[in-house]
């Protein structure tokens, strides 16, 4: 071998020797670490996930072909193209963020002619999340029954045991796409947002006491819809949970009579079974617990009864007697179905029936037979003839209208008293005339005779008018 050949061979050997010390990875990242990433669900579709490159020291071209490999032992779903350094997924491998978020492994490159001349570098491969799963509620709907008196601030449903009902939400996404956001559905009626509020953790809270008394049903049924979103998912794509709220009416109102006291004025001759008055009782609790149930009479032996408790008409059930009791009372009781009650007083004022015969109290002492009876304004005047004395016999006043008011009755009594007075004065005048006549006949002292029934003789209207006028003129003088 000539000198030139020997020299060329030595240069190659020196270059190869120096090359084993100068082969390096062309890592653009700091720390001699490659960083690659790809979103999850990436599969083996021939797509390049990254490339590693070896050069000589200083970036010089390689002195020959090199082989790229992943250093073992490590289990990764990747593979290098041994000649190009292109990183890809192995067959049937798919990246899954929920399973593995990152991979860290070492790679090497070496000359094919001499594997001892090589270099190594680290690779960090990040798997990016994809919001591929929607949140899932444990229930399609929840039903919660509460009272209308439930205090505000109570937690109705929650994701833990703090509420009256519990539910859960699951999301197979991890990371930012697994962060849940709870929000009221835009489909909820606006008034529900006044009665309820939804916290950030998904708890439904009663914000004010709900009143059902103005409603028409005993149970108010409302549906509040909760939506849950994850990541940056828009509301229209978020699942929802229907919370069905059954709000029951409560007996929180007393039944109430329209008046505390009712008064009725009737004649004592009204027959049994007469309708006296109709009373009204109302209850703000409607069609549910505590609604108005009926009106009754409180005393078992009351003079009145209410046969139809829902109607409230009061009927007389026994005869009235002014002489026995001019005023009778009864207690009216209004009940509701929950046991609450209100009471009112019924006062019945009785007008005496003037058609009843008044008791006579005639003094027959000194009366002899043969007297004449003069009837003046219902007053019987016995006028003496010859030696007869007189007496006054009251005649009954007869009224056929049993519905006379108290004012008319007083007027009749006053008028009758006036004419009775005139009759009485007339009687005194007649007595005086009889005494004068007896004195003239020499019979000044006539003792009392045995009582006998007076003889009543009819006097013509003219005689009555004459006698009355004379008596009136005498009194006037």
pLDDT tens, residue by residue, 111-147: 999 888 999 999 999 999 899 899 999 998 999 988 8
Last residue of a domain, one of 320, 351, 382: 351
Res. 400 pLDDT band, cuts 50 70 90: very low
pLDDT at 437 over 70: no
The answer to whether position 360 is within a domain reads: no
Q: What angle do CA 29, 35, 36 make, to 5 degrees?
A: 140
Query: Per mean pLDDT, which of 20-24, 363-367, 446-450 is the most reliable?
Result: 20-24
Which tops the pLDDT comparison, 269 or 58?
269
User: In the beta sheet, which residues pair with residue 147?
Assistant: 248
Tokens in use for 273? 């079974």
Looking at the structure, tell me whether residues 156 and 103 fall in a common domain. no
Among the candidates 206, 226, 248, a domain finishes at 248
Residue 366 counted as domain residue: no
Structure tokens given for 101: 């978020």
Q: What is the pTM of this model?
A: 0.49
User: What confidence score (pLDDT) does residue 474 get?
Assistant: 41
Same domain, 102 and 176: no
Write the CATH number for 145. 2.60.40.60
Angle between helices 406-440 and 461-476 (to 10 degrees): 90
* pLDDT score recorded for residue 401: 40
pLDDT score at 22: 76
Q: Smallest Cα–Cα separation from 202: which of 245, 166, 149, 254?
A: 166
**Band of pLDDT at residue 383, cut at 50, 70 and 90:** very low
Q: Which residue has the higher pLDDT, 67 or 446?
A: 67
Q: How far is CA 212 from each of CA 135, 303, 338, rounded to the nearest angstrom?
A: 36, 39, 16
On the question of pLDDT at 278 being above 50, the answer is: yes
Q: How far apart are CA 331 and CA 341, in angstroms?
A: 12
Integer Cα distance of 160 and 168 in angstroms: 8
How far is residue 357's CA from residue 462's CA, in Å, rounded to a whole number?
Answer: 29
> How do residues 99-121 score in pLDDT, each as one tens digit?
999 999 999 999 999 888 999 99
Q: Are residues 224 and 155 in the same domain?
A: yes
pLDDT category at 67 given cuts 50, 70, 90 is very high
Co-location of 260 and 346 in the same domain: yes
Q: Are residues 149 and 221 in the same domain?
A: yes
For residue 23, being part of any structural domain is answered with yes
> What domain range includes position 416?
372-476
More confident residue, 275 or 386: 275
The residue behind tokens 């209207």 is 461
Residue 397, Cβ density class (10 Å: 0-12 exposed, 13-18 middle, ≥19 buried): middle
Please indicate, yes or no, whether residues 59 and 117 belong to a single structural domain of this protein: yes
For a pLDDT cut of 70, what percent of the chain falls above it?
65
What residue ranges in 311-468 does DSSP mark as E strands? Answer: 313-316, 327-336, 341-351, 372-376, 379-383, 392-394
The three state secondary structure string of 92-142 is CCCCCCCCCCEEEEEEEEEECCCCCCEEEEEEEEEEECCCCCCCEECCCEE
Max Cα separation, the chain? Answer: 217
Task: Determine the Cα–Cα distance for residues 448 and 365; give it in Å rounded to an integer.
Answer: 7
Look at residue 363 and tell me if it is in a domain.
no
What is the H or E stretch that residue 195 is in? helix 192-195
Residue 288's CB is within 10 A of a number of other CB atoms, namely 19
What pLDDT is attached to residue 81?
A: 92
143-157, 225-239, 242-256, 408-422: least confidently modelled range: 408-422
pLDDT at 407: 37
Cα–Cα dist 147/156, whole Å: 12
Does residue 150 form part of some domain?
yes
Q: Are 122 and 62 members of one domain?
A: yes
Can you tell me the mean pLDDT for 362-369? 38
Do 232 and 320 lie in one domain? The reply is: no
Q: How much is the pLDDT for 286?
A: 61
Q: What are phi and psi of 19, to 5 degrees?
A: -65, -35
Note whether 158 and 260 are same-domain residues.
Answer: no
Q: What is the per-residue pLDDT for 475?
A: 36
Residue 447 to residue 344: CA distance in whole angstroms = 66
362 lies in some domain: no
> Does 365 map to a domain?
no
How many structural domains does the chain have?
Answer: 4
Q: Give the C-alpha separation, 152 to 210, whole Å.
A: 9
Residue 290 binned pLDDT confidence (cut-offs 50, 70, 90): low
Asked if residue 399 and residue 302 are part of one domain, the reply reads: no
Any domain includes 402 = yes
pLDDT digits (tens, 9 = 90+) for 174-192: 888 889 999 999 989 888 8
Q: What is the mean pLDDT of the chain?
A: 74
Backbone angles phi, psi at 89, to 5 degrees: -85, 150
> What is the spatial distance between Cα 270 and Cα 402, in angstroms, rounded to a whole number?
8
**Structure confidence at residue 106 (pLDDT):** 93
Most confident stretch, 26-40, 396-410, 431-445: 26-40
pLDDT confidence bin for 213, thresholds 50/70/90: low
> Do the beta carbons of residue 433 and residue 384 sit within 8 Å?
no
Q: Which of 81, 98, 128 is the last residue of a domain?
A: 128
If residue 424 lies in a helix (H) or strand (E), which one and from where to where? helix 406-440
CA 316/CA 120 separation, integer angstroms:
116
Output the CA torsion 265→270→274→277 (10° steps): 0
Residues 273 and 158 in one domain: no
pLDDT band at 340 (very low <50, low <70, confident <90, very high): confident
Whether the per-residue pLDDT at 333 is higher than 50: the answer is yes
- Cβ count within 10 A of residue 383: 21
pLDDT: is 46 or 461 the higher one? 46
The rounded distance, in Å, linking the Cα atoms of 7 and 233 is 72
**Residues 6+ positions from 460 with CB-CB distance below 8 Å:** none
242 and 264: one domain?
Answer: no
């Amino acid at each position: 071998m000539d000198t030139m050949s020997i020299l060329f061979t030595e240069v190659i050997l020196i270059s190869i020797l120096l090359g084993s010390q100068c082969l390096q990875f062309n890592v653009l990242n700091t720390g001699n670490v490659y960083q690659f990433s790809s979103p999850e669900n990436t599969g083996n579709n021939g797509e390049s996930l990254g490339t590693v490159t070896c050069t000589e020291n200083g970036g010089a071209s390689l002195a020959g072909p090199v082989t790229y490999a992943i250093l073992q032992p490590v289990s990764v779903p990747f593979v290098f193209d041994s000649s190009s350094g292109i990183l890809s997924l192995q067959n049937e491998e798919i990246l899954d963020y929920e399973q593995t978020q990152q991979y860290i492994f070492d790679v090497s490159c070496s000359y094919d002619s001499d594997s001892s001349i090589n270099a190594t570098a680290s690779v960090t491969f990040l798997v990016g999340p994809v919001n591929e799963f929607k949140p899932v509620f444990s229930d399609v709907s929840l039903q919660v029954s509460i009272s209308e008196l439930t205090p505000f601030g109570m937690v109705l449903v929650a994701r833990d045991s703090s509420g009256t009902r519990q539910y859960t939400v699951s999301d197979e996404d991890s990371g930012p796409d697994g962060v849940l956001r709870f929000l009221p559905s835009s489909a909820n009626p606006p008034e529900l947002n006044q009665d309820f509020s939804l916290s950030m953790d998904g708890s439904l809270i009663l914000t004010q006491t709900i009143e059902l008394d103005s409603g028409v049903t005993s149970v108010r049924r409302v549906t509040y819809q909760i939506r849950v979103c994850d990541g940056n998912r828009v509301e229209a794509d978020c699942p929802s949970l229907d919370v069905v709220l059954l709000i029951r009416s409560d007996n929180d109102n007393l039944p109430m009579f329209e008046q505390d006291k009712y008064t009725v004025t009737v004649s004592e001759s009204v027959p049994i079974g007469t309708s006296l008055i109709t009373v009204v009782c109302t209850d703000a609790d409607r069609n549910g617990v505590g609604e108005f149930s009926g009106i009754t009479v409180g005393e078992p032996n009351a003079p009145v009864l209410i046969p139809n408790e829902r109607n409230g008409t009061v009927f007389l059930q026994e005869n009235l007697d002014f002489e026995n009791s001019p005023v009778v009372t009864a207690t009216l009781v209004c009940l509701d179905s929950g046991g609450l009650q209100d009471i009112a007083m019924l006062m019945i004022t009785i007008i005496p029936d003037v058609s009843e015969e008044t008791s006579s109290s005639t003094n027959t002492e000194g009366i002899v037979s043969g007297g004449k009876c003069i009837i003046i304004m219902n007053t019987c005047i016995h006028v003496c003839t010859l030696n007869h004395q007189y007496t006054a016999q009251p005649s009954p006043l007869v009224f056929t209208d049993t519905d006379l008011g108290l004012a008319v009755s007083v007027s009749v009594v006053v008028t009758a008293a006036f004419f009775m007075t005139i009759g009485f004065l007339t009687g005194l005048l007649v007595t005086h005339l009889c005494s004068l006549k007896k004195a003239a006949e020499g019979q000044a002292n006539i003792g009392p005779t045995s009582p006998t029934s007076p003889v009543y003789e009819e006097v013509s209207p003219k005689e009555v008018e004459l006698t009355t006028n004379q008596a009136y003129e005498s009194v006037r003088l």
